[in-house]
Chains A and B, each alone.
Chain A
Amino acid sequence: MGVVHGQEMVLNIGPQHPATHGVLRLQVKTDGEVISEITPYLGYLHRCFEKHCENVSYEQVIPFTDRCDYLASMTMNFGYVVAMEQLMDIKVNDRVEYIRVIMAELQRIASHLLAIGVFGLDLGAFTPFLHMLRDRERIIDLFEMTCGARLLYNYMWVGGLSHDLPKGFVEATLNFLDYFEPKVDEFENLLGHNKIFVERTADIGIMPAEVAINYGVTGPNLRASGVNWDLRKDNPYSVYSKLDFNVPVGKGIKGTVGDSWDRFYVRLQEIRESVKIVRQAIDQLPKDGDVHQSMPKKIRPPKGSIYSRTESPRGDLGYYIESDGSDTPYRLKMRSPAFTALGVLNEIAGGWLMSDVLAILGSLDIVLGEIDR
């Protein structure tokens, strides 16, 4: 071919950089533009979450889980609460379950909007980012109406919720969904089918299904590689078995299966599916039921351990909780989906250009708070 090899340069992207989604340092070996190896350096946001959890009581762990993945706090709470209720064998009533599903799905929409917006921003499309943030604001207003907080909710408690839905929440949500559904088509046209965007993302950073499973990648990243695996359908928890929705899987419409455009498109489709789920959940929501009904007076689980998984917007969130019969956890480990997503970066980004690496990083949708805990 006639390849000219220059000297290899070692470059640092970050820790302060507009495009690294948090405080992340990527050490990149490149010979000009083509990358040969990427080494991520983590730990800038490590706040000793797991050590803290060993010293506080089980209820006090919930605000800590909020702060791990701060862009999807509801689903972080949800995962923990589902694990605890399995450990303690608590059954909550239907109203609580449906409200939890509504909140988790609204949170999924908000998180995906931000993920797609920031992905576009990294590639230079400034406008879709602002449009998506405008719609995310409306979801956050709904959350604020319910529990008073905009970003870190501390909403789902073991055995129930902190507050019941306020008056007017259901109408406000239905109004929002009616306003929002046509916007998703707008986003798809503005960003998704834009020729420049497609050129920048199709066939870039292809992740074959084998590699994805071997590296433990889950969630939209795995589904974009063609594997139909969604914990809400394959390992249902809460009331997901009563709701009817599809699982979008990457099909390689604009390029190969598992490229960055697929990861973007799977997230866009998931927003549509979540809108469907929220509508059904609101329909099936029982009118009465006390959200504080099954909350135990003192959380003291029996001795034992449990590993339970739920589906967060970034993937497969796992909590491994070991209890020794006292009020504080003996060991709590959070298996975060973005941790494994970042681990696969070196595998799929070797051999691409510098601008592609940032595109691939954007398509993986990582949040440093969850990776470093």
Chain B
Amino acid sequence: MTVDFIFEFLSGLLDGFISSNSLLIISMLVPCLAIFGFITVYALVVIYAELKVSSFIQDKVGPMGQGVGLHAGKWGLLQPIADALKLLLKEDIIPSSADRPLFILAPFMIFIGAFISFIAIPFGESIIVTDLNIGIFYILGVGSIAVLSLILAGWASNNKWSLYGGMRSAAQIVSYEIPAGLSLIVVIMLAGTLNMQDIIKYQAGGIFNWIIFDNPFVPIAFVVYFISAIAETNRTPFDLPESESELVAGFATEYSGMRYAFFFLSEYANMFVVSAVAAAGFLGGWHSPIQGFMDSPAWGVFWMINKTGFLIFVMIWLRWTLPRLRVDQLMNVCWKVFLPLALINIFGVAIWTVVFNS
């Protein structure tokens, strides 16, 4: 629990000089800044990864360069930085008939929604901003702020296409939260707690203690959760709200420059959050697959980031392979396939656990 750790450290150092309330505030700000820095670096890395992975899949070359200072750096590493700079320097256009306060509010809200779910993600054994007892529940709940901001963005742009995109995405995210939540109930049932660190500690002891191997019903829950997570983050094959070829850019049609960047930054941040929850809940979190091998707290961060990164890679892979589903097919799949499947899973896991008492 990093906030407490920093608070004790600072109060040990500066007790007399600064009041304990302001020390508390400082010790809360430091991890948030760290998270902010992490998100920024992560965004650059994942944008580069997306470009390169998509190039390999599509038989292209992707960002390339001849060396530092020329084009995009060696292997094109400067490309994401160039992209970020370009977006920062773009002219900020707000359509005159748009609803100004809501238009400006929407990107901030969506970023806040993605950002505050980071404080409950466990990166390592004691590396977590705050270890809430309702960790998983909190992340699921806070992820719904995105819906509100997407509707705001679609409405405030005063554009029929954006409205379409906003409506579609609201329906999609709200619907897919249900199978996602129900699949996570399987994890909570087996671990017996909502606390993220305790769920991970339940999976100690090597790869076969991970929750995904606990029970034949759990891999199904994992798949249902993962696909619902992709739908929640608006990635292809569920990216109808921002589908380029149909609605130009959907709810983000009227946004330019840094505001546009916020939408897509928060999409990538969301991807990280849902992959981290899947890794922590199903794949053992910061435990190494072989007990005792690379298992110290420092290595924990390595394992966590790797597992999350692998799931993000799968998301990128799916994006460039599959066409997109139409909105009514999307809803069909959610309500008629995933929801019954998730419910059956819960019963199956419960019955199996009781029968085999494992």
Binding site for B on A (CB under 8 A): 9, 11, 17-19, 33, 120-127, 130-131, 134, 191, 194, 196-197, 199-200, 353-356, 358
Bin chain B's interface residue count. Answer: 20 to 34
Contacting pair B246 A358 (CB below 8 A): yes
Can you list 30 pairs linking A and B with CB atoms under 8 Å apart? Answer: A18-B244, A18-B248, A19-B245, A19-B246, A33-B327, A120-B323, A121-B245, A123-B245, A124-B237, A124-B245, A124-B323, A124-B324, A126-B58, A127-B57, A127-B320, A131-B58, A131-B59, A134-B59, A194-B322, A194-B323, A196-B323, A200-B323, A200-B326, A353-B326, A353-B327, A354-B164, A355-B240, A355-B246, A355-B326, A356-B326
- The verdict on B294 contacting chain A, using a C-beta distance below 8 Å, is no
Contact with A along B229-256 (1 / 0, CB 8 A): 0000000110110011110100000000
- One digit per residue, 1 when the CB lies within 8 angstroms of any chain A CB and 0 when it does not, for chain B 311-352 equals 000000000111111111100000000000000000000000
Nearest Cβ in chain B — how far from A182, in angstroms? Answer: 15
- Contact partner of A11 (CB less than 8 A), chosen from B57, B160, B237, is B160
Complex Cα distance, B59 from A196, in Å, reads: 22
Closest Cβ neighbor of A359 among chain B residues = B326
Instruction: Give chain A residues whose Cβ lies under 8 Å from the Cβ of B100.
Output: none
* B86 close to chain A: CB less than 8 A: no
Alpha-carbon distance A126/B316, docked complex (angstroms): 12
- Kindly state the separation between the CA atoms of A355 and B237 in the bound complex, as whole angstroms: 14
New A-B contacts (14) at CB < 8 Å, excluding given A124-B237, A130-B60, A196-B237: A33-B328, A120-B323, A121-B245, A124-B236, A124-B243, A125-B322, A130-B58, A196-B322, A196-B323, A196-B325, A197-B323, A200-B326, A354-B164, A356-B326
Interface-centre pick from A11, A126, A131 (highest chain B CB count, 10 A):
A126
A353–B240 CA distance with the chains assembled, in angstroms: 13
Contacts of A33 in B (CB 8 A): 327-328
Chain B residues lying within 8 Å of A356, measured Cβ to Cβ, are: 326
Beta-carbon nearest neighbor of B249 in chain A:
A18
- Complex interface: chain A residues within 8 A of B248 (CB): 17-18
Closest to B321 in A: A127
Contacts of B245 in A (CB 8 A): 18-19, 121-124, 358
Structural contact, B327 and A355, CB atoms closer than 8 A: yes
Contacts of B60 in A (CB 8 A): 130
Q: How far is the CA of A126 from the CA of B54 in the complex (A)?
A: 9
Please indicate the chain A residues that have their CB under 8 angstroms from the CB of B326 in the complex: 199-200, 353, 355-356
Task: Report the Cα distance A125→B239, complex, angstroms.
Answer: 12
Using Cβ atoms and an 8 Å threshold, which residues of chain A touch B237? 124, 196
B325–A200 contact, CB under 8 A?
Answer: yes
**Which residue, B323, B326, B329, has most C-beta atoms of chain A within 10 A?**
B323
Q: How far is the CB of A123 from chain B (nearest CB, A)?
A: 4
Chain A residue contacts of B327, Cβ below 8 A: 33, 353, 355
Bound-complex Cα distance A73 to B60 (A): 27
Q: How far is the CA of A124 from the CA of B329 in the complex (A)?
A: 15
> How far, in whole Å, are A344 and B237 apart by their CA atoms in the complex?
30
Contact B59 A123 (CB under 8 A): no
In the bound complex, how far is the Cα of B58 from the Cα of A130, in angstroms?
Answer: 6
Is B329 in contact with A199, judged by CB distance below 8 angstroms?
yes
Assess whether B320 is in contact with A126, with CB atoms less than 8 Å apart. Answer: yes
How far in angstroms is the closest Cβ of chain A from B187?
A: 28
Q: Considering the chains assembled together, what is the distance between the CA atoms of A194 and B248 in angstroms?
A: 25
Per-residue interface assignment for chain B, residues 256 to 273, with 1 indicating a CB less than 8 Å from any chain A CB and 0 otherwise: 000000000000000000
Establish whether residues A124 and B58, one from each chain, have CB atoms under 8 Å apart when the complex forms.
no
In the assembled complex, the Cα of A196 lies from the Cα of B58 at a distance in Å of: 19
Cα distance A199–B331 in the bound complex, in angstroms? 14
